[in-house]
Amino acid sequence: MVFIGEYSGRIDDKGRVVIPAKLRKILLESQVYSVYITRGLENSIFVFPEKDWNIQTEKLKSLPFTKGDPRAFTRLFFSGAFNSKVDRQGRISLPQSLVAYSHLKENFVILGVGDRLEIWAEEIWEEYSKQALGSYVKIAETLLQI
């Protein structure tokens, strides 16, 4: 299961977001009916199917808890986590703490990022993507040895 693409939407009054049909189809074909939601990076929200959540959990559990950075990251990652069912309309409920963390007001962007979805406040995503696109080639040269 690989998530790709960029989609726009609006959060409703109850803190629910609709997972776009193309992404929802991937979830349904993989028989994923609930997801794990937590603090992402750069004020985004990460949304993991259970299988991928378990993979991330094992990676984080292997970090040395005696070191400050891994300890702080795992505390924030897990303490901000929630499980949410995908309802019949393809919506997931976001807890108020994550809505506040991500500065979501009304409009959002959902990104397919391989093993997870990311939910961004629209204005934060626009600013981030402008900056990141400026260094896209340099990052690719550093990371990818083709």
Q: pLDDT tens across 125-144, in order? A: 999 999 888 888 888 888 87
Q: Where are the strands (E) in 54-126, listed by range?
A: 82-85, 91-93, 107-114, 116-121
Q: Of 122, 100, 114, 110, which is closest to residue 39 (Cα–Cα)?
A: 100
Give the C-alpha separation, 122 to 128, whole Å. 10
Q: Which residues of the chain have pLDDT under 50?
A: none
User: What is the rounded distance in angstroms from the CA atom of residue 7 to the CA atom of residue 86?
Assistant: 17
Provide the pLDDT for residue 61: 87
According to the model, what pLDDT value does residue 64 have?
A: 84
Query: Is residue 26 a contact partner of residue 74, using CB atoms and an 8 Å limit?
Result: no
Name the pTM for this structure: 0.91
Structural contact between residues 11 and 104, judged by C-beta atoms closer than 8 angstroms: yes
CATH number of 3-143: 3.40.1550.20
What pLDDT does residue 54 have?
Answer: 93
Which pLDDT value is given to residue 146?
Answer: 57
Which among 99, 120, 113 has a CA at the least distance from the CA of 26? 113
Burial letters 80-104, b for 16+ CB under 10 A, else e: bbeebebeeebbbbbeeebbebbeb
